[in-house]
Structure 1
């Protein structure tokens, strides 16, 4: 097998996050589920944007956020995702390339516009997301370069993008390219609503041995397995995948790899400002350790450190020097 060009190549939604603080009353007034994520159309995106206070625009998207963390930790990365030929598309492309991540997917002409996620952040740091997927859900399989995908040590797939038909086909092609080259495939389940719609697909991928690393949170574990008890859910899912990583918010996280199990407590945070991207950055820290062949427990700790950094400020991408943080806290 040839030496990989990239540590991680990811396929995901190319989204610009539009974030604004708000009080709990506004969440209720707008009829949103506090802490949830809702898919909306462009008209609703415009309406909700009009209800926001002063907002901050930050390039986002789950897999892109993970790559931002990985790049900050010294990993070589590339991203595949669809933007439109518009201002937000230019913002996204500039931001991801400025982070040292290769991004060559051509912009899409015409409608719909580049995806955006309107994020309302309450005083306790909880985020309520309203996502217009726009151009991101029209990523064609033809945009993929099989040779580039095969050149990455790990292919990382964003579960959110499994929902639309066109990018789902692209991701299936990418899995084949990666596995044919003897590389690893990682999948984040993203959200319980995605699992509810595509659980059979995900179970089939696991049964076929197509996934090497599976990321999920406690709610997603329950939806995927149907088990109310956490340990029962882990016992049900872990034997189906070489590495299972389950995040538990303030309760930390666990990872199971065959007969090995590791656990980590959540890193202390002085103040939780915004939980956007916590899972994305956890995956970044974990994968940064994994591509260096570090022990499972160390990979978990790196995930916890990266997640703690991102929830200490607005936005889903790191602001502190993550590499320095790792050196300081891992010793």
Structure 2
């Protein structure tokens, strides 16, 4: 890995799907009737998106996308942040661009002219706070190596890659190019696995990317077990230690496990009333990376992650609604 003395001008550059979320409450029976796997993320086409949108209850619209959520939360914690992701030149695309810039995140990607509309994710939240996501990727599938901002990647201390972007093939090419650019500039590459079903769809590609190109990995327990095809968390963690220098495995109410080399630190979850689990993992990664950018010890990075995740699940929607700087200081 080449090193450089150039100071980073961004703490974090996220690369991911640029999506507008539509959240609505739903009973378990509605999920069953629609044939949905509760708690997962399914990719849907235009017809399915229109059918589901018509069937679901009143919705709340807000900008989302896993990596974009992480960027918005990290910016709220004081990090210098940018985001690359593809929207269309349409109303939802303008909403997304406005929202992420208003959150303090640089967003230089040019909109897609013609072609598919801006992506949207139809999220059904059951009474237990679980979110079940149905994603129409739209313009996101057009994101490829040509959309990488090479100067931004070279100037970012950490380039953060969203696992969901493994679904569109051109985006996988972009991941490899982004990792190469980051490492050539002496920077770090972080990856979030995003979803166990996504891992299942692309396991071999994920395994290769984790082992060969990833410095920092974020995953929840289900994702890491899927990645290594085991039911034994200790076994998965042992493999993970051999492949990345730093990792955080989130375990819902059991908190998280921060791993670096042979060392590990259990981090407690922050108690809160669960309203909607959308964005919990995104917020955890944001808190962790924002603290890391400030040179905090790794257990403290995990605590920041837990605080940010607790805030995210205490309300409807994934973007922060409280003063996160005050919460982590408390």
Same fold (TM over 0.5): yes
Matched residue, 1:66: 70
Show the counterpart of 2:253. Answer: 250
The gaps in structure 1 that reach 5 residues or longer are none
Counterparts of residues 123-272 of structure 1 (less than 5 Å): 123-208=127-212, 210-269=213-272, 271-272=273-274
Secondary structure of the equivalent of 2:247?
strand
Give me the whole-angstrom Cα distance separating, in 2, the residues matched to 1:123 and 1:196. Answer: 27
Q: What displacement does 1:169 show? A: 1.2
**What is the CA distance between 1:244 and its match in structure 2?**
1.6
Whether the 8 Å CA contact 2:40–2:197 is kept in 1: the answer is no
- Determine the C-alpha separation between the residues in 2 that align with 1:47 and 1:202: 32
CA RMSD of aligned residues (A): 1.0
Q: For 1:4-63, what per-residue CA distance to the aligned partner results, in whole angstroms no more than 9, with x for missing partners? A: 110000100000000011222211222212212111001110110001211100100000
Q: What are the residue-to-residue correspondences of 1:47-86 with 2, within 5 Å?
A: 47-86=51-90
Q: Which residue of 1 aligns with 2:292?
A: 290
Which consecutive aligned stretches of 4+ in structure 1 deviate over 3 angstroms post-superposition? Answer: none
TM-score by length of 2: 0.97
| Distance of 1:31 and 1:145 partners within structure 2 | 40
- Post-superposition Cα deviations, 1:285-326, rounded to whole Å, max 9, x if no partner, equal 111111122111101111000000010000011100000101
Listed one character per residue, the Cα deviations across residues 105-132 of structure 1 (whole Å, up to 9, x for unaligned) are 0110122110000001111111111000
Give the aligned length.
Answer: 326
1:18 alignment partner, one of 4, 19, 22: 22
The residue aligned with 1:87 is: 91
Contact 2:41 2:197 (C-alpha < 8 Å) held by counterparts: no
Structure 2 unpaired stretches of 5+ = none
TM-score, normalised to structure 1's length? Answer: 0.96
Instruction: Report the more deviating stretch, 91-100 or 196-205.
Output: 196-205
2:205 and 2:127 map into 1 onto residues whose CA distance is 38
Q: What secondary structure does 2:35 align onto?
A: coil
Report how far residue 155 of structure 1 moved.
0.3
